[in-house]
Structure 1
Amino acid sequence: MGESSLKSEQFGSHEVDLSSSSSNDTSSPHAYTGKIEQDLEKQNQITRSNTNNSVNTVSYSVREIYGDLDSEEIKVQRHQTRNTILSELVSRTEDAEEGIYYDSSKDEVVKDTLYEDLPDTTVATKRDGDEFADIDPELITWNGSSDPSDPRNWPVSTKVSLTALVSLYTLVSPMSTSMLSPAMTEISKEFGITNSVIAAMVVSIQLLAWAVGPLLIAPLSENHYFGRKSVLDASCWIAFFFNIGCALSQNTTQMIIFRFVGGIFGSCPINVGAGVLSDLWDAKSRNVALAGFSLAPLLGPVIAPLIAGFIVEHKSWRWVFYVLSIFNGAVAIFGTIFMKETYSPKLLRSRAKKLRKETGNNNLHTIYEIADGETTLGKMYLAINRPVKLLFTHPMIVGLGSYMAFTYGFMYLMIVTFPTVYQENYGFGKGTTGLMYIPMGVGFLLGVLFWTYAIGKVYAVLTERNGGVPKPEYRIPCLVSSGLIIPIGLVWYGWSAEKKLHWIMPSIGSAIFAFGLVCVFQSMQSYLIDMNTRFAASSVAAAALFRSLFGFTFPLFAEKMYGKLGYGWGNTMCAVIGLILGIPFPIFSYLYGERIRIWANKNIERDQLRRDKKNLERLRKQQESIKC
């Protein structure tokens, strides 16, 4: 090209200058060769093959993309392309700070918030950078919305099997929390434990670990270097070795340490699993998937004592942990072999790595490799800071989360009283006492069947009334019902045990309680994910932190509380708390929660916008400093 040719391309809501100097000036980082438009048009027409879930690797070679351009011209184009993407991302944050979110794919302003509908990834992009595919011919994204490699497009049978598998991961740690409960009498005798609080702590210490694990380890699953599978596999194997350590413990200190560390790693599947479901299922299908997933952490504490009761009757208490370790090891082996990665940034990174090897083009990259400006320390800081901050500053998490935390604490309060109630009041042996956990399990199963349908039906009806536009608040109405059912179950169980009625009566009470508890878990988990998808992991972690602390502390004072108040008045007090938390705030949240949620979300977004803008500007300055 003989003359200077100033070109520009409309990108998003901003016009980006693609050339500010003559094409002959290839030393300028903003030089325009005149071929970029042809190359981008060629890239738009490239046919990507979906055969065997792979792409046409030839189209990603340097020659196919850039033709006869020399190396210096290619450097200039790559430099300009990356600058364009970073500039657009910076502009998005600037617009969002002004209260505007421009959707370039629709060519219109669609929201006044940037992050509300974005996935929980490290770059503010809807489909893993797909909107930049026409700008950057070396950007690896999904091949359109129907790409079979995208986990959302996997066959239903695959998604169901992976949901079942991640639920199996999730079953291990809840089982380990309560499995030694029937064995605590023997453990206390062998280790010389005379303090009831210490004995209760040996059981509940893993729940304290559950408050720590999501903050330290679970966030690794949202890193495009690790992904979901590696974190799930590693956590399950490490928990396996510490469960063996519990079986070999020689004193109370060893037991508490092994259980605490094992609990930190064992808790990860509960939080990472929610991310797996978000990877696989959209909002409409997620309710059913969450139903099966939420059943595992509820059934775990029920199944484990049932098994452990018979083990302790015929074997040493150490066999409780041997059996748990065998189950843990089987899940670890099965998961390592059959679990698939579902985190799209990790999958795309693997695709880019494969294509780099096949084509020899080492510049192929994902959006996360060029636009993720957060440092490793920064990610660790966010992983710990944001859930804690949400726990204390987000009204919806504080209000609804407190109800979830109390009901979770009530569950463990009830579970740890079973051995005393049924052995002392009814004269049952350890094995028969274990059978008394079955009614609670039946309540959980019936609850999953009923509440999955009820919550989904209410959500669908309210969405239809709102012109087909769903809202997270449509998950809440059923919570009001649980606010009545859970107190009824607590009072029924407590007074039946207090008056020593037929053993079936407290069993029915525990089943009623379990039936209502399922509604709390399903409604809250769905709401927390829908509330703001970009920060879903932090919201779930905040709620997990809250309920785990309650689950840890409630068993510690169970014996003293029931010793002074009795089972009847003790559970009546808990029922009153359940009524206060379970009815007024869910009603308030349904009526006014949207306004509060949007206000609180914008505060979170504002902080993240500042971080994103700072990190992106740093990347852009680094890019501009590169001399082609």
Structure 2
Amino acid sequence: MPSSPSPPPPHDAAPPLQRVGTHSSTMTMAAGHGYIDPEAQSGRRSLDRRQSLSSVATEKDYVGDFLQEWERPQRLRELRKVYSHQTEKLGELDAPGDASEFIDIDKELVTWDGPEDPENPRNFPTAKKWRITLVIGMYTFVSPFASSVAAPAAQEYAAEFGITSPTIASMTVSIFLIGFALGPLFMAPLSELFGRVIVIRVTTVLFLIFSIACALANSTAQMMVFRLLSGLAGSAPLALGGGILSDIWAPVDLVRAMAIFSIGPLLGPICAPVMAGFVVENIDWRWVFWILVILGGVSMVIGMIVFKEETYAVVILNRKAARLRKETGNENLHTIFEVTEDVRTGFLIAITRPVKMLVMNPVLLMLSLFLAFVYGFLYLLFVTFPILFQGKYGQSIGIAGLNYLGPGVGFMVGLIVFTPLLQKIYLRLTAANNGVAKPEYRLPTLLMGGVLVTTGLFWYGWSAEKQLHWIMPLIGTAFFGAGMIPVFAAIQTYLIDMSPRYAASAVSASTLFRSLVAFAFPLFGKQMYDKLGYGWGNSLMGFIALPLGILFPLFLYRHGEPLRIRAEKRMEEWDTKMRARALEGETSSSLP
């Protein structure tokens, strides 16, 4: 029986210069002829990413001799200790991609089968990528459609349920957005641990069930609870859509896909009241929800057929490693992600990441603040349009619902104009920077969106205040809608470029913030317009939009890069400390 290996030396007590015993000459060459650089370890010399990865590989091989006979959990704990220590010293979160740099020196590392591996989502056929993109666009249309579909029906079921408070009636509509806000806190982490497909499939089924429950509701409490649960389930496409698209599309090809992803949350809430107004007027308010059920059921079936293959590279590689361990009997096969993170620690980090991103990243906070403001005002329109056009302009419920087409027309114009413009500006700035792309190159069109949004707010407010022809307020909302397209597209693509691996968490952080604001805005809209009128009420909104939509993006374009880099480093350091603490706990619990 072989003797037990000696425990490894503490990772913070490594010798200053150590000749490393190796199993292959390749490893020795990759590690600078087998020496560990003490300056690199102490952080006094900056290394590029490939040099630092070689250092990790060398140190890993240093402990490799006495890890060969250990059980898999203990082996991963020791490897994790080395990676965690190296990450702490060099400020790296994890090895990039599949860590194929290690393949010659770590024979048990599972990676892609070359750059053309068909399992890699980036290598999916283009037609397949577009099918997935269209399914995600369909999902992100249906769930926001549900968010506003109750607006024209609110007065009808409020009378049936005995609701007398306008605030409570508005809350039955906007409480859906609380689900939108809370859902991403769980959806994104779950998808980064267990995969995108399973989360999307389960939540679409739940969304359908809760939509049926809304159609059958018989009290205020039932309506509010089921609307909240519908929002929770319906938040999954918004939380995961950006991450799914970044899984399959390279950054240079992402803009058109993100345009489809961004139009759903804008067009869905516009189309719903147009349809619902006529349904409520001519049939019954419950049929508003039955139509939603039909739409949700059709989209669920299409999604189940088309979107079947996992897209998150981490999950795909981990499943591949598990399959190979079962087929070969070699329990030491692993991916870089299994080495650097255990499931419990990974879930804890992932579930807190969206909120930490908002708190620790001022760039994400500033952009999310403007996105939240714009999105919140859109929902303010949904609950105040009936008051304006039915009350002041004397229109019927069905005709008043057609006014939602005002921002809808703006959305379509913005989509046609700004989608190619965003891509053109991004590529031009990248070429001018010697082909090196930066997330900040997404921001120039955001400035244009800020100008249009601000213009639309003033135009809509004062034309409604003076009760000009009904087309005048709608022109203002069209300006506002056109401006929302570059706002959504620029910010969403920026967040993905800023944090590719954790794109779902970055988008979820933004979704959390904007959904909370969209929930709050309708609650004070009627009171604001009663006190200030449409002119000064919307002027107040316009004065808020000026710094958020013009000054902030201009500042970020010129000075945002160092802020972004420092914020990313803070996030990496925070995650590294959490992994180190978890590792210390595992090590101490394994001691006799």
Q: TM-score, normalised by structure 2?
A: 0.85
Whether 1:326 aligns to 2:294 is yes
CA distance in 1, matches of 2:352, 2:204: 25
Give the alignment partner of residue 97 of structure 1, picking from 85, 88, 100: 88
Relative distance call for 1:18 and 1:601 in structure 2 (3 A) is closer
Aligned length: 544
- 1:148-159 correspondence to structure 2 within 5 Å: 148-159=118-129
Write the letter of the residue equivalent to 2:92.
L
1:578 aligned counterpart, secondary structure? helix
Give the alignment partner of residue 492 of structure 2, picking from 525, 533, 537: 525
Which whole-Å deviations, capped at 9, do the CAs of 1:98-124 have from their partners, x for residues lacking one? 4x4xxxxxxxxxxxx524xxxxxxxx2
2:424 aligned counterpart, secondary structure? helix
* Deviates further, 533-542 or 428-437: 533-542
Which whole-Å deviations, capped at 9, do the CAs of 1:181-207 have from their partners, x for residues lacking one? 111111111011110100110010011
Question: Is the Cα contact below 8 Å between 2:324 and 2:333 reproduced in 1?
Answer: no
CA distance in 1, matches of 2:79, 2:98: 15
Q: Tell me the CA shift for residue 244 of structure 1.
A: 0.6
Which whole-Å deviations, capped at 9, do the CAs of 1:120-164 have from their partners, x for residues lacking one? xxxx23223433333444443210111112110111111011011
Relative distance call for 1:363 and 1:256 in structure 2 (3 A) is same
* Deviates further, 420-429 or 192-201: 420-429
* Deviates further, 148-157 or 435-444: 435-444
Give the alignment partner of residue 246 of structure 1, picking from 207, 214, 222: 214
* Deviates further, 518-527 or 419-428: 419-428
Q: Tell me the CA shift for residue 517 of structure 1.
A: 0.9
Whether 1:545 aligns to 2:536 is no
CA distance in 2, matches of 1:492, 1:618: 60
Question: Is the Cα contact below 8 Å between 2:59 and 2:82 reproduced in 1?
Answer: no
Relative distance call for 1:462 and 1:253 in structure 2 (3 A) is same
Whether 1:512 aligns to 2:487 is no
Write the letter of the residue equivalent to 1:459.
Y
CA distance in 2, matches of 1:280, 1:621: 41
CA distance in 2, matches of 1:323, 1:440: 23
Question: Is the Cα contact below 8 Å between 1:349 and 1:365 reproduced in 2?
Answer: no
* Deviates further, 132-141 or 496-505: 132-141
Question: Is the Cα contact below 8 Å between 1:140 and 1:364 reproduced in 2?
Answer: no
The equivalent residue for 2:579 is: 612
Give the alignment partner of residue 272 of structure 2, picking from 276, 284, 304: 304
Q: Tell me the CA shift for residue 321 of structure 1.
A: 0.6
1:277 aligned counterpart, secondary structure? helix
Whether 1:406 aligns to 2:448 is no
- 1:441-590 correspondence to structure 2 within 5 Å: 441-590=408-557
CA distance in 1, matches of 2:219, 2:349: 37
Question: Is the Cα contact below 8 Å between 1:485 and 1:516 reproduced in 2?
Answer: yes
CA distance in 2, matches of 1:195, 1:440: 28
Relative distance call for 1:366 and 1:581 in structure 2 (3 A) is same
Q: Tell me the CA shift for residue 425 of structure 1.
A: 2.4
Which whole-Å deviations, capped at 9, do the CAs of 1:43-72 have from their partners, x for residues lacking one? xxxxxxxxxxxxxxxxxxxxxxxxxxxxxx
Whether 1:13 aligns to 2:94 is no
Relative distance call for 1:619 and 1:182 in structure 2 (3 A) is same
Whether 1:195 aligns to 2:237 is no
2:574 aligned counterpart, secondary structure? helix
- 1:275-290 correspondence to structure 2 within 5 Å: 275-290=243-258
The equivalent residue for 2:180 is: 210
Question: Is the Cα contact below 8 Å between 1:96 and 1:114 reproduced in 2?
Answer: yes
In structure 2, stretches of 5+ residues that fail to align are 1-19, 32-53
Q: Tell me the CA shift for residue 611 of structure 1.
A: 2.5
Question: Is the Cα contact below 8 Å between 1:7 and 1:17 reproduced in 2?
Answer: no
The equivalent residue for 1:336 is: 304
CA distance in 1, matches of 2:261, 2:395: 33
Q: Tell me the CA shift for residue 263 of structure 1.
A: 0.6
Question: Is the Cα contact below 8 Å between 2:321 and 2:335 reproduced in 1?
Answer: no
The equivalent residue for 1:173 is: 143
Question: Is the Cα contact below 8 Å between 1:291 and 1:522 reproduced in 2?
Answer: yes
CA distance in 2, matches of 1:360, 1:591: 54
1:114 aligned counterpart, secondary structure? coil
The equivalent residue for 1:351 is: 320
Instruction: Percent identity, please.
Output: 43
CA distance in 2, matches of 1:19, 1:205: 56
CA distance in 2, matches of 1:456, 1:17: 42
CA distance in 2, matches of 1:134, 1:219: 32
Which whole-Å deviations, capped at 9, do the CAs of 1:149-180 have from their partners, x for residues lacking one? 21101111110110111111222210111001
CA distance in 1, matches of 2:394, 2:561: 52
Question: Is the Cα contact below 8 Å between 2:144 and 2:265 reproduced in 1?
Answer: yes
Write the letter of the residue equivalent to 1:210.
F
Write the letter of the residue equivalent to 1:497.
A
CA distance in 2, matches of 1:191, 1:368: 56
2:152 aligned counterpart, secondary structure? helix
Whether 1:114 aligns to 2:92 is yes
Question: Is the Cα contact below 8 Å between 1:30 and 1:80 reproduced in 2?
Answer: no
CA distance in 2, matches of 1:559, 1:133: 63
Relative distance call for 1:19 and 1:185 in structure 2 (3 A) is closer
Give the alignment partner of residue 116 of structure 2, picking from 117, 139, 146: 146
1:201 aligned counterpart, secondary structure? helix
Give the alignment partner of residue 30 of structure 1, picking from 65, 78, 84: 65
2:153 aligned counterpart, secondary structure? helix
CA distance in 1, matches of 2:22, 2:74: 15
CA distance in 1, matches of 2:562, 2:338: 36
Which whole-Å deviations, capped at 9, do the CAs of 1:416-447 have from their partners, x for residues lacking one? 22222222222222222222222311211221
Relative distance call for 1:612 and 1:380 in structure 2 (3 A) is closer
Relative distance call for 1:150 and 1:250 in structure 2 (3 A) is same
Write the letter of the residue equivalent to 1:577.
I
CA distance in 1, matches of 2:62, 2:577: 29
Write the letter of the residue equivalent to 1:261.
L
* Deviates further, 348-357 or 176-185: 348-357
Which whole-Å deviations, capped at 9, do the CAs of 1:225-275 have from their partners, x for residues lacking one? x20011001111101101111111111011000000111111111011111
Whether 1:185 aligns to 2:185 is no
CA distance in 2, matches of 1:347, 1:394: 29
Whether 1:373 aligns to 2:341 is yes
Relative distance call for 1:19 and 1:590 in structure 2 (3 A) is closer
Write the letter of the residue equivalent to 1:525.
Q
* Deviates further, 232-241 or 88-97: 88-97
Write the letter of the residue equivalent to 1:342.
T
Write the letter of the residue equivalent to 1:604.
M
Relative distance call for 1:17 and 1:348 in structure 2 (3 A) is closer
Relative distance call for 1:372 and 1:238 in structure 2 (3 A) is farther
* Deviates further, 504-513 or 421-430: 421-430
* Deviates further, 470-479 or 135-144: 135-144
Q: What RMSD over aligned residues (CA atoms) do the two structures have, in Å?
A: 2.7
Write the letter of the residue equivalent to 1:193.
I
CA distance in 2, matches of 1:530, 1:414: 31
1:181 aligned counterpart, secondary structure? coil
